[in-house]
Amino acid sequence: MKMGIDWNQFNEKYVRLVTGIEKRLKLSNWSDGQWFGKPGISFDVLEEDTVKAQQKQFTVTSDMLIRLLKPVILKAEKAGRDCIDVSIVRTGEGRNTRYAVKEYV
């Protein structure tokens, strides 16, 4: 009997931020919730790096990244838009992790 896990099935469902690599995302249907005991925000991913995404999720539990996304989300809600288009860059590791967010309008 062959045992093992097909790890690729998980890579297709969620967006992963790789340190030092810019990730452009078009996000919609944001909602708050709890993940791994931490409050966060979940998004449906419409596009990843300008390519249409199929049933992908982006979940954020980082306080820093939530603070950076907050004004973008509030601005979209005020304008009546149901999606946001952003690029996110992650730098550093562990306690030294930092994020940069740029909005595309």
Q: Which pair of tokens denotes residue 45? A: 């991913």
Task: Kindly report the pTM of this predicted structure.
Answer: 0.85
pLDDT digits (tens, 9 = 90+) for 25-41: 999 999 999 888 899 99
Rounded CA separation 88/94 (Å): 17
Rounded CA separation 65/98 (Å): 8
Which pLDDT band holds residue 10 (cuts at 50, 70, 90)?
A: low
pLDDT digits (tens, 9 = 90+) for 51-61: 999 889 999 99
User: What structural domains does the chain harbor?
Assistant: 17-104 (2.40.50)
**CA dihedral angle for residue 12, residue 18, residue 23, residue 28, rounded to 10 degrees:** 50
Burial label for 42, CB within 10 Å (0-12, 13-18, 19+), is middle
